[in-house]
Amino acid sequence: MHALRPHLFLLLVVAIFAGNILVGKALAGLPPFTISLGRVFIALLVMLPLGWYQARRGWPVFRRHWRPLLGLALSGVAFFNALIYAALKFTSATNVAILESLIPVATLLLSVLLLGERFRALQWGGVVLSLGGAVAVISAGSGAVTMPGGVNPGDLIMLLAVLVWVGYSLLVKEHMARFPRYGGLLAMLVIANLALAPIALLEGAWQVIPRLTVQELAGLAYLGVFPSVVALLLYNSALADIGPTRASVYLNLLPVFTMLGAWWLLGETILPVQVIGSLVVIVGVWCTILPPRHEAA
């Protein structure tokens, strides 16, 4: 049962992340950093009673390792989702999910550049396939706004979000074990609130927040509790057990969950190029992370 636990956690994470994209698309009329500030503020209120005792006891650890703590807070807690919400203002929920599923490939590429890992021929083929599928989706320009050449700016913003999350995953594997589970997340949420507040104020959050509807408040509550707290705790736990590369494989399911949810809940049209592109990305990612035969045995 212990061996299955990280895999069950990751399935729940994928379902919650799909909901994060769908709710973010439904809230796309709000400024993206205002959405992010709302979610991390709600998450802070949720975590305060859970993590206060650990955070107080862990203060010496936070001071000693403040650089990785800051990196974790800014990448995974603050700006990754802010970039997703910014991307959703221009592109579809399906495109965001397909591009987010590139995270395993980006993780391995950065591992080669930063950690000196070596690829096999099959892995390089998987990288080419995944990037080809992503290029096909981006080139479709299915959003309302495109740049010269038909490229949707939301797709480019989402590619930046992918790089931010890869950095977060590498930091989690290297440093997360130093911090108390609940107290560490509470500290990261404090940092995320401080980082996002001035940007949200520049967006006009002080005018937007008093005018929020009941539906928008419910959407922010979902974002604040599930993707910001529940999914992060589950993902960090699974990541510590099986590592960033294997954990990121589960993001292959994200386009499927999100595509069906976008069609059913948001009424989005699913384009053939999105279906084909997502399948190509999934096959490419699978080839990229497939272990050698002797390791599989």
Confidence at residue 150, expressed as pLDDT on a 0 to 100 scale:
57
Confidence at residue 291, expressed as pLDDT on a 0 to 100 scale:
57
Among candidate residues 198, 190, 161, the one with its CA nearest the CA of residue 79: 161
Spell out the SS3 assignment of the chain.
Answer: CCCCHHHHHHHHHHHHHHHHHHHHHHCCCCCHHHHHHHHHHHHHHHHHHHHHHHHHHCHHHHHHCHHHHHHHHHHHHHHHHHHHHHHHCCCCHHHHHHHHCCHHHHHHHHHHHHHCCCCCHHHHHHHHHHHHHHHHHHHHCCCCCCCCCCCCHHHHHHHHHHHHHHHHHHHHHHHHHHCCHHHHHHHHHHHHHHHHHHHHHHHCHHHHHHHCCHHHHHHHHHHHHHHHHHHHHHHHHHHHHHCHHHHHHHHHHHHHHHHHHHHHHCCCCCCHHHHHHHHHHHHHHHHHHCCCHHHHC
10-residue mean pLDDT series, the chain (297 residues): 78 89 91 95 94 94 95 94 93 82 75 67 72 67 50 86 89 87 93 96 90 93 91 82 70 76 78 76 69 48
Confidence at residue 17, expressed as pLDDT on a 0 to 100 scale:
87
pTM score above 0.75: yes
